[in-house]
Amino acid sequence: MRRNYAIILQMAKDFEIIGEITNVETVAVGSSIRVIKRLRRFYGDGRWRKLKGVSKVKLPDGTICKAEVHWYEMSSVGRKEYKIKRILS
């Protein structure tokens, strides 16, 4: 069954991560992050990293699928602002 993934990605702001995130990679660190000023203003100064990984997610319509997930992380604050970048299966 084919779905319109553009619509699913727009709806995926309120998704739930099921299980652990695997294949974690660092995408950017510090000033390489485009939104670093906003992150520091909202959550505080520190060494921010943007990471990506693969996880099973549950979308708002109840669909469970594998997706590439991106987020920001700082050791003293933890993981913030998860988002789905692409549906893998």
DSSP assignment, residue 35?
Answer: T
pLDDT of the residue at 14? 81
Q: Which residue do the tokens 């695997």 mark?
A: 22
For the stretch 31-48, pLDDT in tens is 999 999 999 999 999 999
For residue 54, is pLDDT > 90?
Answer: yes
Q: Which residues contact 63 (CB under 8 A, 6 or more apart)?
A: 3, 8
What's the full length of the chain, in residues?
89
What pTM was estimated for this model as a whole? 0.81
Count of other CB atoms within 10 angstroms of residue 28 = 15
Domain ranges across the chain: 5-87
Q: Which residues contact 58 (CB under 8 A, 6 or more apart)?
A: 15, 16, 18, 64
